[in-house]
Amino acid sequence: MREIIQGGTRRVVVLGTGGTIAGRASHSGDNIGYTAGQVGVADLLGGIDAPEGTTLIAEQVSQIDSKDMSFEIWQKLAQRCAHWLAKADVAGIVITHGTDTLEETAYFLQAVLAPSKPVVLTCAMRPATALAPDGPQNVRDAIAVAGTPGAQGVVAVCAGTVHSAFDVQKTHTYRLDAFGSGDGGPLAYVEEGSVRVLRNWPGPQAAAPLFDRVVSATSWPRVEILVSHAGARGAIVDALVVERKRGAVDAVQGLVLAATGNGTLHHELEAAALRAQAEGIAVVRATRCTQGRILGKPNDALRDPGSLTPVKARIALALELLSAGA
């Protein structure tokens, strides 16, 4: 579905995927007892003025609670983004999204598209039916970022703050300002429609081969995340290895270990992970700390993804396996 909302010579495309921003509750005082993904994206643009000379186009890609995000929806989203980004008069794209997996979608799209135009994910912590919803202002801010000259790459906009796809993380369960960029800090702020840039936008890379591989894939390599913790054991890893040795159809191909501190693992989990690696499973250690990166040592037996969080490391590993033909 596609609708032209305003008139103008350049276009900003708003793709809807669902989330709380499109959520409905039975009464306006309820900010938590709602159903996500109910209001169409064209309706989310009601009452929002397009910047001068800009046409807004709304297109519904999915209508889900983002906790249920899937590879199939990511494929479709990447395709719709590529379609619109290729048009000379499209300045940028806004994606309305749930907060729960927003950082994963942002990282996925940056890795697959690495766009030279802005792709701006936005969201809300309160449903559209709330007494004071935060969605409309976030959408307005996201449209401003998507139309900013020089903006590029995949970013997220929430509560007036712009975060890079590489750094963005949901950091709060309830507050409207629910996202952070960790050590990197925000990329920009949006103030009354004007964007105050603090540091570089995520850069474009040669992404075309990965894009083709991703959109043509019929399945997504299975990569599981396991957390190292006090009393951790290797039994789950060993069970996954057994399943793979039995030739299970969707056997695990990669493991991300959410490690303690600077990439350390409980010795039982580490021993099992090394056994899994020896069996051909790709194993990566990502830190479970919310800030900082793993500083690797020359004799590390299991590799690390630097500053990527476990959920982003999972996407990076799955894309690596996919491009290697797994």
Find the shortest distance in angstroms from Cβ 243 to ligand ASP: 30
Contact in structure between 91 and 115 (CB atoms under 8 Å): no
Task: Tell me if 65 contacts ligand ASP by CB under 6 A.
Answer: yes
Find the shortest distance in angstroms from Cβ 165 to ligand ASP: 17
Q: Which stretch binds ligand ASP (CB under 6 A): 26-34, 98-106, 190-198, 312-320?
A: 98-106
Task: Give 100 or 224: the residue with its C-beta nearer to ligand ASP.
Answer: 100
Q: Which stretch binds ligand ASP (CB under 6 A): 82-90, 96-104, 110-118, 145-153?
A: 96-104
Task: Tell me if 169 contacts ligand ASP by CB under 6 A.
Answer: no
* DSSP three-state, residue 156: strand
Catalytic residue chosen out of the listed positions 17, 20, 55, 101: 20
Task: Tell me if 20 contacts ligand ASP by CB under 6 A.
Answer: yes
The encoded tokens of residue 119 equal 């792709």
Find the shortest distance in angstroms from Cβ 66 to ligand ASP: 3
Let me know if 290 is a catalytic residue.
no
Q: List alpha helices for the chain, DSSP H.
A: 41-44, 71-85, 102-113, 135-146, 208-216, 235-245, 267-278, 310-323
Find the shortest distance in angstroms from Cβ 38 to ligand ASP: 11
Q: Which stretch binds ligand ASP (CB under 6 A): 46-54, 77-85, 95-103, 104-112?
A: 95-103
What b-and-e string marks burial along 77-98, b requiring 16 or more CB atoms within 10 Å of the CB? bbebbbebbeeeebbbbbbbbb
Out of 16, 51, 92, 98, the only residue in the binding site for ligand ASP (CB under 6 A) is: 98
Task: Tell me if 66 contacts ligand ASP by CB under 6 A.
Answer: yes
What is the layout of strands, in order, in the sheet containing 54-64? 2-4, 54-64, 10-18, 90-96, 118-122, 153-158, 161-164, 188-191, 194-197
Task: Tell me if 30 contacts ligand ASP by CB under 6 A.
Answer: no
Task: Tell me if 100 contacts ligand ASP by CB under 6 A.
Answer: yes
Task: Tell me if 141 contacts ligand ASP by CB under 6 A.
Answer: no
Integer CA distances (angstroms), 215 to 112, 211, 321, in order: 9, 6, 15
Out of 11, 14, 15, 19, the only residue in the binding site for ligand ASP (CB under 6 A) is: 19
Closest residue (Cβ) to ligand ASP?
98
Closest CA to 85 of 162, 16, 4, 154: 154
CA distance 293 to 261: 9
Task: Tell me if 125 contacts ligand ASP by CB under 6 A.
Answer: yes
Give 71: exposed, middle or buried? Use CB within 10 Å, 0-12, 13-18, 19+.
Answer: middle
Out of 99, 110, 137, 287, the only residue in the binding site for ligand ASP (CB under 6 A) is: 99
Residues in region 238-297 near ligand ASP by CB under 6 A: none
Task: Give 67 or 83: the residue with its C-beta nearer to ligand ASP.
Answer: 67
Q: Where are the beta strands (DSSP E) in 143-249?
A: 153-158, 161-164, 169-170, 179-180, 188-191, 194-197, 223-227
Closest CA to 51 of 7, 106, 4: 7
Known catalytic residues are 20
Q: Which residues bind ligand ASP (CB under 6 A)?
A: 18-20, 36, 65-67, 98-100, 123, 125
